[in-house]
Amino acid sequence: MVNATSGFETAPETETDPGRVVLLTTSHRVAPGLLSWPAWQTLHAADQVLCADGTHPQLPYLRDAGIAVEEVSPTAEDLVHACAGGRTVVVVTTGEGDPALTDGLARLAGSGRVRMPDLELLPASYDLPGARLLDLVQVMDRIRLECPWSSRQTHQGLAKYGIEEAYELVEAIEDGDRDELREELGDVLLQVVFHARIAEDANEEEDGEAPFSIDDVAAGIVTKLIHRHPHVFGDATASTPEDVKEHWLRTKAIEKQRESVTDGVPLGQPGLALAAKLASRVHTAGLDVPLPQGEGIGYELLHMAVRAEREGVDPEAALRAAARAYRDAVRVKEGVAPTATVTE
């Protein structure tokens, strides 16, 4: 980077047309060179193109396109002089722009003593929905490489955090706290990205485990979603939620080729949720399976969980709501203000 006074041209101040300044913003989350057509038109038609950052990723592509870019850092006054005489000067900035330059231009305009050129902000590339996920992947990659704790983590060591974050997400949903919901969703997303980054380090020859990346994870779920939504991406029709569920279950059954409706039900989940999930599978398959009879609270809870599923109630959520009411009763007894209770 060099000072503006050492390089770029300035037009004679005697000219009356103040010219035009174009601040060209780009996103580092978009591949360099993929600029909008208006941006390319403006760049080719400009009298000067300036960029303060000699390492800006767009510069090689602009020069390959025959655009001369001067690596200078102009002040607001420099730009006003450079545009005089009806010239167009393009300043290539980052996605965040150039606050110091724009503040300087604003001060000049506010002084009323300078005839200002037309000022245009032109997004040459901009983020699509989901673009910040690229930042998360890059940050996770650096943490994995440089953080003494993160660099030693394994899937097994992180498993407990995945469970904790999932429960905290459920709590935020039940509390109706949207700020907390946003944060907890981020924590759950972190677990996905962290595990995918760990998987990249796998060595098939040494560990017997094939590596995969976050892109493989995303590609897998995209393929699954498209395949299981033929009413959206194919010729099938579905006009009700029940139709959608039927499509999903039928497609899933073909994919999995399971011997039993109980295959794939994680046995490590909480007991009430496990019982309700098994009851749901049995109900969906249209099977008539009598509940096992036995003595003890476990069998009583099984019957309650199956009843809850039959009535469309999540037994885990219902028990949590009742437990919160119990917690509040305890706090009242202790003389402590109760917290908000979520009811089912």
> What's the whole-number mean pLDDT along residues 289-300?
92
Among left, alpha and beta (phi > 0; psi -120 to 50; other), residue 17 is beta
For residue 62, give the nearest of 28, 34, 87, 27 by alpha carbon.
34
Which tens digits make up the pLDDT trace of 198-224?
Answer: 999 988 777 788 999 999 999 999 999
pLDDT of residue 29: 85
Q: Read off the pLDDT of residues 331-343 as tens digits, 9 standing for 90 and up.
A: 999 998 766 544 4
Q: Give the pLDDT confidence score for residue 14 in this predicted structure.
A: 47
Does residue 187 have a pLDDT over 50? yes
Say how many C-beta atoms besides its own lie within 10 A of residue 187's C-beta.
16
CA 163 from chain centre, in angstroms, equals 20
Q: Where do the H-state alpha helices sit in the chain?
A: 37-45, 59-64, 76-83, 99-111, 132-146, 155-175, 178-200, 204-207, 214-227, 230-233, 241-256, 271-285, 297-310, 315-334
Please report the pLDDT score of residue 340 as a whole number: 57
Q: Residues 333, 334, 336, CA angle at the centre, nearest 5°?
A: 105
Rounded to the nearest integer, the mean pLDDT of the chain is 88
Task: Quote the percentage of the chain above a pLDDT of 90.
Answer: 60
296 has a pLDDT exceeding 70: yes
Write the CB contacts of 127 (distance below 8 Å, at least 6 apart in sequence).
27, 29, 30, 95
pLDDT in tens, 49-88: 999 998 999 999 999 999 999 999 899 999 999 999 999 9
pLDDT at 40 over 90: yes
pLDDT above 70 (res 5): no
CA atoms of 9 and 247, how far apart (whole Å)? 66
pLDDT category of residue 99 using cuts at 50, 70 and 90? confident
Pairing label, strands 20-25, 48-50: unpaired
Is the model's pLDDT at 256 over the cut of 60? Answer: yes
Lowest mean pLDDT among 1-15, 31-45, 49-63, 88-102: 1-15
> 305 Cβ partners below 8 Å, 6+ apart?
271, 272, 275, 276, 279, 315
